[in-house]
Amino acid sequence: MKTLSSTNKTRLKQYTAVAGALVAQSNLNAQVVATDLNPDVVVDSLSGPYSLDFNNDANPELNFFVQHLSGASSTQGVQFTYEGAIAGVQLSTGVSVVGAAGTGSSSSSFQISALNNGDPISAAGNFGTSSNATLGLDALVDAGALGQFPIQQGNFLNQSNKFIGAKLTAGANTYYGWVELSVNANASQITLHGFGYQSTANSQILAGEGANSGLDMISLADKVTIVGTPEHVSINVTPDLIGANVSFVSMSGQTLKTEKLNDVNNTVSFDALSTGIYQVVVSNGIEKTTQRVYVK
């Protein structure tokens, strides 16, 4: 186990104090109600749908499901079989989600947008009216002598820790919320991480807002500790940075390796990197912080 230096201990104490103050302040002015699903909720074709209730009023707004697809059909005299899965969500009356009309073969359908952490969800968003929407579809169509045709659709397919932006209408009031989720590569599983909504009517919310008790108000540099050795680099981050990217950049500016941070404590090897000095860049898509390391 690596021992924290005196500098890192000081930074950790400072961060803890700042985080504590932010939590206390957010409790006094709580408008965003966020729920961390711990453990995460996994939905597949065997588990059945999961009903998500933003405000816990026993009237779920979103129902997430995974359905296995298998069968045979024909079109214009061509016989074919198909096999795959679809991950989707059913919307209750008065609920809509951010998205856009599909393109190409999906031009007649509404495609839910996969939002990033911090994206605004407000009246300015494009909300669809469809009662069912696809998160991810992965199927293989076998048309015999004509060949096999893979079909992959949905903005959440093979995406981790993305957000749905939702609008809830209750009488004359409108409320905005978010759901954080991941969908695997073959659409056979949805993992729900958490959700939140703005309890003040007609007020904007940011995707992921409220989930980390004010961590979004702390600069990225204060959320990341990077400690390098000649063989690897240890990167410790706050929970809201899980899923962020870490890149190794040469001194000439060439990005040689990029990985995702999968935990609060990460160890990334220097495999395939030549001896020299590199920049380790941690980025959440909005901010980035950089530190130089030596690779043996």
295/148 Cα distance (integer angstroms): 46
CATH number of residue 275's parent domain: 2.60.40.3080
What's the pLDDT score for residue 50?
A: 97
Helix (H) or strand (E) holding 19: helix 6-28
Mean of the pLDDT values across residues 122-149? 91
Of 121, 206, 218, nearest to 168 by C-alpha is 121
Same domain for 91 and 8, yes or no, is no
Do residues 79 and 144 lie in contact, with contact meaning Cβ atoms separated by under 8 Å?
yes
Do residues 84 and 149 lie in contact, with contact meaning Cβ atoms separated by under 8 Å?
no
- Asked, for residue 262, whether it belongs to a domain, the answer is yes
What's the pLDDT score for residue 153?
A: 93
Q: What is the mean pLDDT of the chain?
A: 85
- When pLDDT is cut at 50, 70 and 90, the band that residue 170 belongs to is confident
Same domain for 201 and 191, yes or no, is yes
- When pLDDT is cut at 50, 70 and 90, the band that residue 30 belongs to is very low
Q: Which residue has the tokens 């409220």?
A: 210
- Asked, for residue 213, whether it belongs to a domain, the answer is no
Same domain for 139 and 16, yes or no, is no
pLDDT over 70 for what percent of the chain? 85
What's the pLDDT score for residue 56?
A: 85
Q: pLDDT tens for residues 264-289?
A: 899 998 888 888 899 999 998 878 89
Concatenated DSSP letters of 171-190: TTEEEEEEEEEEE-TTS--E
- Asked, for residue 64, whether it belongs to a domain, the answer is yes
Do residues 180 and 156 lie in contact, with contact meaning Cβ atoms separated by under 8 Å?
no
Domain that holds residue 25: 1-30
- Asked, for residue 212, whether it belongs to a domain, the answer is no
Same domain for 182 and 264, yes or no, is no
Same domain for 21 and 36, yes or no, is no
| Residues in a beta bridge with 236 | 225, 265
CA 290 vs CA 116, 224, 243, 244: distances in Å: 22, 10, 17, 14
What's the pLDDT score for residue 239?
A: 78
What's the pLDDT score for residue 217?
A: 54
- Asked, for residue 79, whether it belongs to a domain, the answer is yes
Q: pLDDT tens for residues 42-72?
A: 999 998 899 999 988 889 999 999 999 999 9
For residue 78, which phi and psi values (nearest 5 degrees)? -95, 120
Domain count, the chain: 3
What's the pLDDT score for residue 134?
A: 94
Q: pLDDT tens for residues 93-115?
A: 999 999 987 655 544 578 999 99
Same domain for 14 and 112, yes or no, is no
Question: Does 200 have pLDDT greater than 80?
Answer: yes
Strands (E) in 102-231, as ranges, are 110-112, 120-121, 132-142, 148-153, 159-170, 173-183, 190-198, 205-206, 224-228
What's the pLDDT score for residue 248?
A: 92
| Residues in a beta bridge with 206 | 120
